[in-house]
Amino acid sequence: MELLLIDMPRLVQQVIFNSILLVTALLFSIKAKEIYRNIKMGKAEDRSDQPQQRLKNMTLLALGQKKMFRNMIPAVFHLCIYVAFLVTQIELIEIILDGMTGIHRIFWPMLGGFYTFIISFIELLSVFALVATIVFLSRRNLLKVPRFQMDEMSGWPKLDGNIILYVELFLVFCIFTMNTADMVLHNGEYGFLVSGMLMPLFSGFSEGTLHFLERFGWWGHIVAVFAFLIYIPFSKHLHIVLAFPNAYFGALDGGANKGEMANMPRITEEIKLMMDPSLPMPEEDPNAAPARFGAKDVEDLSWKSLLDAYTCTECGRCTDACPANQTGKLLSPRKIMMATRDRLEEKGREVAKNGPEHDDGKALIHDYISAEEVKACTTCNACVEECPVSINPVNIILELRRYLILEEANSPEEWNLMFGNVETNGAVWKLPASDRMKWIDEMNE
């Protein structure tokens, strides 16, 4: 399609461009709306307090990539791609404006020398991004860094990771093709740094070829950008958007209270009533469906856990740090996030098609995440600590555990014994309360 477009008159190009822009915006917004609706399926949880602290967290963790630097080598290369991505938006805006208006390099006459500086800077960053992309492809495919080779990464997740990197290569390739051809066509008038150095590569080409290459680069770049935009909401790459809200709504205290589990107020009411029967019965809506204890499926999780699932970019730092995973257990926190997202996407389609009441006979627990995985967690919070984008897999694991115990009585026999001891003796072991102070006599013997 691009080849055909290249020699078309400007007006035709303009019409085609605006049509593609419109279709892209439409497709992106349809999927974005679907994701928003899916996240809203989760249980309400107020995370709007302390907006200033939240903004600070977002600035440090998402914008500043603070936690990435726990792991220096990938952090530096990731930063190259990230900064290039951010700054290249300037050139992208120009390309979009050019496409909409049919003007060639709309910013050039306005900015002059400053334009040369900006585009040269972008070119330089693109070189860094190119190097980083090649490093990342090597880490995934040649060096085979272990966290990219685990079970949950086979098939689509592996392909997804590579597609993103190949598209990045293509984007950089197009930018340099476009700029270099344009530089040769204009006798280096723009003064761009990197494409200026590449000019000898194109020096023998006819004006027609150069014009073709310039258009090829321009269309190639923008079509790839639009295709990428449509692709991102289906991909793990969505983290480039959702890392920001996820850091904003993440744990507030810099993670210092990771040990706190969310309370279940319904149970508090029941126990208070047991302890003091004179208390008034809580008012209940007789029409309300009995709420589930813990999480059987995605809609039983907090909306933040669902946002977590969409934010996960499958880097595997969590699984790498997980003691259960390191010792060969089935549990992988990354897989917990991936399974939650897969089930949420499926459930979202199901609800859109058949309404929220329809039961498709599947659930997050057992069909997507096994009881064995859930039970293997030591709640050590290493996964939470490692996540650069404030995802908390432990919250999901613990809600699933609550469901297993409270709704299915699906508990290892040893835990049942411990429960029994706590209930009857007030201690985790089968020892009488009168033994609680034996140590005092021992000490004073």
Partner 1 sequence: MSDNKIKVPLMSEVAANGGEVEVLFWVGCAGSFDDRARKITKAFVKLLNHAGVTFAILGEEEVCTGDPARRAGNEFLFQMQALTNIETLNMYGVKKIVTACPHCFNTLKNEYPVLGGDYEVIHHTQFLQGLLEEGRLTVEGGDFKGKKISFHDSCYLGRANGIYEAPRKLLQALDVELVEMKRCKSRGLCCGAGGAQMFKEEEEGTLRVNQERTKDILETAPDFVAAACPFCMTMLTDGVKEKDKQEEIRVRDIAELIAEAEDL
Residues 381-420 within binding reach of partner 1 (CB under 8 A) = 381-382, 384-385, 398, 401-406, 411-412, 414-415, 417-419
Query: Is 379 among the residues that bind partner 1 (CB under 8 A)?
Result: yes
Q: Please provide the DSSP assignment of 271-303 as one string.
A: HHHHH-TTSPPPP--TTSPPPPSS-SSGGGSBH
Give the integer Cα–Cα distance in Å for 186 and 439: 90
If the CB atoms of residues 18 and 71 are measured against partner 1, the closer one turns out to be: 71
CA dihedral 387, 391, 393, 398 (to 10 degrees): 130
Residues 6 or more apart in contact with residue 221 via CB below 8 angstroms: 95, 171, 174, 175, 178
Give me the least distance between CB of 311 and partner 1, in Å please: 20
Amino acid letter for position 246:
N
Query: Is 198 among the residues that bind partner 1 (CB under 8 A)?
Result: no
Instruction: Point out which span in 6-14, 112-120, 354-362, 434-442 binds partner 1 (CB under 8 A).
Output: 434-442
Give me the least distance between CB of 179 and partner 1, in Å please: 44
Number of residues that bind partner 1 (CB under 8 A): 72
Give me the least distance between CB of 325 and partner 1, in Å please: 9
One character per residue 13-32, x = contact with partner 1 (rule: CB under 8 A): --------------------
Instruction: Point out which span in 27-35, 241-249, 254-262, 311-319 binds partner 1 (CB under 8 A).
Output: 254-262
If the CB atoms of residues 10 and 430 are measured against partner 1, the closer one turns out to be: 430
Contact positions with partner 1 (CB under 8 A) in 256-295: 256-261, 263-264, 267-268, 270-272, 274-275, 293-294
* 218 exposure class (CB count in 10 Å sphere: 0-12, 13-18, 19+): buried
Query: Is 252 among the residues that bind partner 1 (CB under 8 A)?
Result: no
Give me the least distance between CB of 326 and partner 1, in Å please: 6
Which residues in 152-191 are b (16+ Cβ under 10 Å) and which e? bbeeebbebbeebbebbeebbbbbbbbbbbbbbbeeeebe
If the CB atoms of residues 259 and 355 are measured against partner 1, the closer one turns out to be: 259
Tokens 């490093």, residue located: 135
What's CA 387's distance to the chain center, in Å?
A: 10
Residues 6 or more apart in contact with residue 199 via CB below 8 angstroms: 180, 183, 184, 188
If the CB atoms of residues 163 and 417 are measured against partner 1, the closer one turns out to be: 417
- Say if CB 276 and CB 300 are below 8 A apart: no
Give me the least distance between CB of 23 and partner 1, in Å please: 46
Give me the least distance between CB of 144 and partner 1, in Å please: 20
Give me the least distance between CB of 382 and partner 1, in Å please: 7
| Helix ranges restricted to H, 262-380 | 265-275, 303-311, 317-321, 323-326, 333-354, 371-375
Q: Which of 44, 110, 142, 443 binds partner 1 (CB under 8 A)?
A: 443
Q: Which of 104, 349, 362, 438 binds partner 1 (CB under 8 A)?
A: 438
Tokens 């098939």, residue located: 155
Give the integer Cα–Cα distance in Å for 331 and 372: 8
Distances (CA, A) of 2 to 205, 214, 314: 20, 12, 33
Contact positions with partner 1 (CB under 8 A) in 69-98: 70
Residues forming a β-bridge with 302:
43
If the CB atoms of residues 93 and 422 are measured against partner 1, the closer one turns out to be: 422
Q: Please provide the DSSP assignment of 107-155 as one string.
A: THHHHTHHHHHHHHHHHHHHHHHHHHHHHHHHHHHTS--GGGSSGGGTT
Give me the least distance between CB of 158 and partner 1, in Å please: 24
Query: Is 328 among the residues that bind partner 1 (CB under 8 A)?
Result: yes
Give me the least distance between CB of 350 and partner 1, in Å please: 27
Query: Is 301 among the residues that bind partner 1 (CB under 8 A)?
Result: no
Q: Which of 26, 326, 354, 356 binds partner 1 (CB under 8 A)?
A: 326
Instruction: Point out which span in 25-33, 56-64, 206-214, 255-263 binds partner 1 (CB under 8 A).
Output: 255-263
